[in-house]
Amino acid sequence: MNNKFLKSSFCLLLASIFLLSCFTGCSSDKESSQDKIIVNNKYGTYYFSGRYLFRLNDDNTVTPIKYNYTDENGEETTQFVTTRSDNIYFDNKICNFEYALSYCYTFNDDSDVLQNTVFIDEDTLNNSILSISNEYSIGSISHLNKLGDYIYFINIPGNDYFQTFKSKAYRLGRMKKDGSQIEFLNDEIASDYTIYNDWIYFFDNGYTYNTSKNDYETNYERIGIYKIKKDGSDKTLLLDGFDKNQSIDNTDYCFNMNVYGDYIYFIDISGQGESKLFRMKPDGTDIEPLTKNGVQNYTVDGNTLYYTTGTNNQLSIDDRTFYSVSLETGEETELFKLHNFTESTFTVYNNYIYFHNDHQYETGNYSGARYNPIEKTMEYLNFIQETRTTTEGVLGVEKKTLLPPKCYWESVGPTKSSNGQLVY
């Protein structure tokens, strides 16, 4: 294959939200997707389900984790740790930027209750380079990764704030792990990135802010995959030539970039990529497609790739088919179909594929899921909290008390479709 064909047939990398697994050999400084789903420390093994944080116990039970906080009446109380949005684990604590403030939950000798503190306060954010007129776009810090003493991020204002903060959109930046020294890396624009061996690999989607028009436009000549050193120096173009995709209204052609072993993985949703998953060497060579179908998310465990189907960075609820691919032979095997499933990241841990899903478990009792590819069983994590109602005094005043939650895995067998497909 010549270079021209390879370049026109390249860029497809996925991993989300997530995100996915250092046990496959990524750099020790790289925040892997597994770190955002499964965390191991001296206090135990913890599962970020997308709804709550759970400890996975040796006897196959689970324990929901709480944190300490002070309520509006000044009383100390506890609440369950939620694990939605973009969490990052480092230095024995979990931090996130989901709301106007950023919080940290620190592990301690009480492994069931974490200590809650503000990571970066509102004044600091409003007076940082991220703000305009001393106002910060809520939740704009995303794509969190750690490297050395820094947390790296992309600044992407939410839809409700984009017009106000469009001059600072898609800026690649970093901050110290203590929340100080928030800075942009030169003027680099990135819609996705990953880190490998002290280099940052990122996709520039061509986003350009026009100061005179106070509006943004697209510089198509700049679109491509680049690498820079962690301090922003030595910028190098690795891959360009992306065809415009007429079916999408933006140029975020590459997404879910990740590192597994000695390869950079990515999903290419440009015209020629067809939403398939690709990988390349860190120098931009040996580009190869890995899947026959469009990919919504994926993870790699040793020499096996797992992925769910999807197209054009599709985030809506849909039926998704789950596949495994041998990275040695390229053989692709359909495992099962997920019915009415939203976007979900996943990782392999201890013979299970654990799912992290921000939206799938918002209703009902389910608060997580895992699949055993050996036994071919799907298990959903039940989280049930009931109340006890009692009456007090001669007036019979009702008092409601929250009971300890019941948490347990429930095995769910598949149904078979008309074509013999296993559906969960």
Residue 242 has a pLDDT of 84
Its pTM stands at: 0.85
Spatial contact of 348 and 21, defined as CB atoms under 8 Å apart: yes
pLDDT in tens, 212-232: 998 999 998 999 999 999 999
Q: How far apart are CA 348 and CA 397, in angstroms?
A: 51
Residue 411 burial class via C-beta count within 10 angstroms: exposed 0-12, middle 13-18, buried 19 and up:
exposed
Helix (H, G, I), strand (E, B) or coil at 58: coil
Residue 22 has a pLDDT of 34
pLDDT in tens, 186-210: 999 999 999 999 999 999 999 999 9
Spatial contact of 391 and 382, defined as CB atoms under 8 Å apart: no
Which regions in the chain score pLDDT beneath 50? Answer: 1-32, 361-363
Residue 21 has a pLDDT of 34
Residue 373 has a pLDDT of 84
Q: How far apart are CA 52 and CA 83, in angstroms?
A: 5
Residue 243 has a pLDDT of 78
Residue 136 has a pLDDT of 80
Residue 339 has a pLDDT of 74
Residue 285 has which token pair?
Answer: 């060579």
E strands, 281-384, are 288-289, 295-301, 304-309, 318-326, 332-341, 345-349, 352-356, 366-372, 377-384
Residue 162 has a pLDDT of 83
Q: How far is CA 204 from CA 165, 193, 224, 232, 242, in A?
A: 19, 9, 6, 14, 11
Residue 418 burial class via C-beta count within 10 angstroms: exposed 0-12, middle 13-18, buried 19 and up:
exposed
